[in-house]
Structure 1
Amino acid sequence: MSTPPRATEQQADDAGDPAQDIQQGTRYDGRNRTEAAHDSPLTSRRGTLFDLCAVTAAALLFTAAAIVGRSYPDSKETLRLRWPPMSAYWLPHWGPGTFAALTFAVLVVAYGPSLARTVPWRMLLLGCWSAAMAWSWSLALVDGWHRGVAHRLAAKYEYLQSVGEVDDVATTLREFTSRILMDAPDNWPPHVAGHPPAALLTFVGLDRLGLSGGGWAAAFAITVGASAAAAALVTVRTLVTEDAARRCAPFVMLAPAAVWMGVSADGYFTAVSAWAVALLALSATRTVRAPRTVALCSGLLFGLTCYLSYGLVLMGIIALGVLVTARTVRPVPFVLLGMIPWFAVFTAAGFWWFEGYFTLVERYYQGAARVRPYAYFVWGNLAAQVAVVGPAVVAALRRTSVLRTAVDRARRLGALRVLVAAGVCCLLAADLSGMSKGETERIWLPFTLWLLPATALLPLRSMRLWLGAQAGLALTVNHLLITGW
């Protein structure tokens, strides 16, 4: 029996509506769904025009931050940035990773969306992790092996400078806070002083295992950091739908943030916090056999996160978003139980987290923050994020705020909006705190990760164009600027 024409037209309309598919939890497999014959409200030309307007506004914000930043009488000394609003300097270049990055970008744009819709779920997770690694490695190698990889974590401000000073971990922890201030004897380098001791001890551990030097440290940071892509997909699938996770997968693989993920310890921090969130989502929705054990593991990772970076306590906002979405607080006692060992061990060893944090605040205003104007960075930081998240995320964020009332009531789509809103709240809280005056391209990577799922709302017909824009932005930044801090 043939399908009535009116029903066929309605199916075609629904197939082009990302919100409709996320609401229903359907999966695009390329076999039993068709491209839209007629645009639905979210995929209409008007919607695309609004997307482009949002991207244009974001580009103007970035341009304004660059112009205003350069208008300071001595921006290098006042802002302590050579290419405001980003921590970078202008140097057009190419390197061993150029061809690999271009080739990889073309392959993901051409085949990423279709493969993400059809491959088995576990293969998609492994593929997303591998793709994120390949993207990070190729972009890092654009700067060459020494400058782009081996020297990144061995620079004078970085962790490897202090690895050789740790002969006894217990002694290091007892003395850690006393070496944070700039006028302290044998004060720590900026990155060591700016983080709790677990960050330094991670690289000490690698060294003790025989994986010493910048090359091994970089390989660790990229390998672990890239797994954040898989963690994000697990979270989206658990809280929203598998279709939503598959839709955003190519954008997670090809995120411009990879310019700063490789090579950066913040990429490692991003992965640890992302898996903490993913395990919390699995536990809260009880989609695993042992939800309490999974919640305990989530707590262990959240506890480690607190001792990797002070600012990552803001990941509690993401965790709250997960609990709100799952409508439960059942995992909370087990998460807290998992966090306790970290606080107990570090405190017993002589490092008190709060003392370290307030000493860091004093150190922070002994350095660049003392002269950097809050009035500029409170909006310049947000402008810099345009280059980190890319135009596709800007357009997708616009779509999260204009959904139809009927769709807004969909619990699954609401979960996506809550997750993304939590990421935005983390950015705003960090920004308003005044403890992020510049250099936020790397510092905020654990937060910007949670803006990427919004790309699930982009229509399929324009997905490759948005992916191309993402890749083009990353390649442009990486080939025109030397990024760092």
Structure 2
Amino acid sequence: MIRSCLRRDLAAASVAALLVLVAVLVGHYVQNTQHNLSVRWAPFVATWNPHVGPGTAAAPLVAAAVIAYGPPLADRLPWRGLLPGLWAAAMAWIWSLALIDGWWRGIAVKLTTRYEYLQVIDRFDDIPATLRTFNDHILIGTPDNWPPHIAGHPPGATLTFVLLDRIGLGGGAWAGAFVITAGASAAVAVAVAVRALAGERLARRAAPFLALVPGAVWMGTSADAYFAGAACWAVALLALAVTRRSPWWASASGLLFGWCLYLSYGFTLLALLGGGVLLLGRRRLRERPLLLVHLVAGLAVAPVAFTLLGFAWWEAYPLLVERYHQGVGGTRPYWYWVWANLALAVVITGLATAPGLRRTGAALRAEPRRALTAPGTGGEDAAAARLAVLVAAGLLAIVAADLSGMSKAETERIWLPFAMWLLPACAFLPRPRGWLAAQAVLALLVNHLLLTSW
């Protein structure tokens, strides 16, 4: 039985690896013949450039430490000690991978290119006035149109870096340090949510995989790492709201969900993850319906504030769609990216996630009704089913983003906020050290062989 399960796990990982290989081969053929993928090393936004740097020595050491000591420490440390340890390990992993490209190329200038947020800091001297006219500069062809990433996101994303600059933390190095720190906290947020909804045992088993996520290659330094941190904490606080007594967890969650809507238009899909959490906590909601009032009240704060300051989200989004199709989004073929994006999802979550998802599906099929028992009840089978629901919600968000056609390429960074919720599936895997090693090797190969744009 054990050998049979292992064979199925290895088969799932092999299929995932094959998907990546096919995406690379087909992508190179299409780009070389049709020249419409708009990436140099499809499906990655990267160039083939084998290289080493200061992080070359550090990253394998971090990986080896997590592989050797992560599982036993995750099992034995007090919970309050495990969380800062998890954050520190995740930061060490992201920093060391980023430094493979060197301090300057890997961190200090990544957020200062002509596509990035720091290019427009000086245009936010009068924040209310800029917000009132923000939509006037989204489309290509309008006067002083925004660079791609500013045009492609609501103004909350840019405002974050404006405020960092205002408090004396301006420039690419501080911006890079900020997104790495925020992005690493996503691992802690997911662990907190898993513990609240599916129990501490599964959260502890997932922790080493959250620390050693291959997607860390793109967390140092991409603003999407910061977005991932914010999104994961919004979901984690909602998980605490439906499992704790205080309604203020719901208020805090609502505040973050509302803020997330002004970081990325794609964060409307967080409703799927939030819905999954509410489904798992529906018994507490019946007992304390005021939780929803607190959630909605918190959720309304950012939209009301931005609207009063003059930015209309609902008017900006159609302009974004038009801008998307004015650029490379309009020429990249949907038929390729709709499945090649999933190959990128394999890379950012790692080969271990494929057998983890296989076991997640098995857990959900075995005990579908137990998933709806109250958190903390029903035993290990019920806990596994509840974790499966949470992972399935993250997977559903990725599928929805993929089918939308608004995520053609660049999903190695764009999908980080959703991909983090697939990693807890690895808690179902026996013998975690081997799978952790596979995760680390994948990230190290990608970061050393490819020069990524983020």
Q: Return the offset for 1:266.
A: 0.5
Matches within 5 A, 1:3-402: 41=1, 44-72=2-30, 74=32, 77-285=35-243, 287=244, 289-290=245-246, 292-328=247-283, 329=285, 330=289, 331-402=291-362
The C-alpha deviation readout for 1:180-221, integer Å capped at 9, x for no partner, is: 001110011100000000000000000000111000000111
Counterpart of 1:349, as a letter, is L
Pairing 1:430–2:401 present: yes
Q: Return the offset for 1:97.
A: 0.8
Q: Distance in 2 between matches of 1:357 and 1:323?
A: 27
Q: Return the offset for 1:60.
A: 1.1
The question of whether the paired residues in 2 share the 8 Å contact of 1:76 and 1:82 is answered with no
The C-alpha deviation readout for 1:240-271, integer Å capped at 9, x for no partner, is: 01000000100000010100111111111111
The C-alpha deviation readout for 1:359-380, integer Å capped at 9, x for no partner, is: 0000000000111101111111
Q: Return the offset for 1:402.
A: 2.6
Q: Distance in 2 between matches of 1:356 and 1:300?
A: 21
The C-alpha deviation readout for 1:90-131, integer Å capped at 9, x for no partner, is: 000010111110111111111110000000101100000111
* 2:414 paired residue number: 443
TM-score, normalization: structure 1?
0.88
Counterpart of 1:311, as a letter, is G
Q: Return the offset for 1:74.
A: 3.7
* 1:480 paired residue number: 449
Q: Return the offset for 1:141.
A: 0.4
TM-score, normalization: structure 2?
0.94
Query: Residue 145 of structure 2 aligns to a residue in which SS?
Result: coil
Residues 366 and 230 from structure 1, CA distance in 2 versus in 1: closer, same or farther, beyond 3 angstroms?
A: same
Q: Distance in 2 between matches of 1:304 and 1:121?
A: 28
Query: Residue 420 of structure 2 aligns to a residue in which SS?
Result: helix
Residues 406 and 446 from structure 1, CA distance in 2 versus in 1: closer, same or farther, beyond 3 angstroms?
A: closer
* 2:385 paired residue number: 414
Q: Return the offset for 1:77.
A: 3.5
Query: Residue 421 of structure 2 aligns to a residue in which SS?
Result: helix
Range moving further from structure 2, 261-270 or 322-331? 322-331
Q: Return the offset for 1:350.
A: 1.1
The question of whether the paired residues in 2 share the 8 Å contact of 1:154 and 1:161 is answered with yes
Q: Distance in 2 between matches of 1:337 and 1:423?
A: 25
Q: Return the offset for 1:75.
A: 6.1
Q: Distance in 2 between matches of 1:332 and 1:273?
A: 19
Residues 175 and 147 from structure 1, CA distance in 2 versus in 1: closer, same or farther, beyond 3 angstroms?
A: same
Query: Residue 482 of structure 1 aligns to a residue in which SS?
Result: strand
Counterpart of 1:463, as a letter, is P
Counterpart of 1:309, as a letter, is S
Counterpart of 2:143, as a letter, is P
The question of whether the paired residues in 1 share the 8 Å contact of 2:20 and 2:346 is answered with yes
* 2:435 paired residue number: 466
Counterpart of 1:301, as a letter, is L
Residues 363 and 120 from structure 1, CA distance in 2 versus in 1: closer, same or farther, beyond 3 angstroms?
A: same
Residues 278 and 405 from structure 1, CA distance in 2 versus in 1: closer, same or farther, beyond 3 angstroms?
A: closer
Q: Return the offset for 1:66.
A: 1.1
The question of whether the paired residues in 2 share the 8 Å contact of 1:55 and 1:391 is answered with yes
Query: Residue 153 of structure 1 aligns to a residue in which SS?
Result: coil
The C-alpha deviation readout for 1:43-95, integer Å capped at 9, x for no partner, is: x0110100111111111111111111111264684000111111111000010
The question of whether the paired residues in 2 share the 8 Å contact of 1:141 and 1:149 is answered with yes
The question of whether the paired residues in 2 share the 8 Å contact of 1:132 and 1:229 is answered with yes
Q: Which runs of 5+ in 2 are unaligned?
A: 371-380
Q: Distance in 2 between matches of 1:196 and 1:402?
A: 39
The C-alpha deviation readout for 1:396-445, integer Å capped at 9, x for no partner, is: 01111234966554432211010000011000000000000100000000
Structure index of larger Rg = 1
Percent identity between matched residues is 54
Q: For the aligned residues, what is the CA RMSD?
A: 1.3
Q: Return the offset for 1:333.
A: 2.0
Q: Distance in 1 between matches of 2:235 and 2:346?
A: 24
Query: Residue 437 of structure 1 aligns to a residue in which SS?
Result: coil
Counterpart of 2:176, as a letter, is A
Residues 364 and 73 from structure 1, CA distance in 2 versus in 1: closer, same or farther, beyond 3 angstroms?
A: closer
Counterpart of 1:302, as a letter, is F
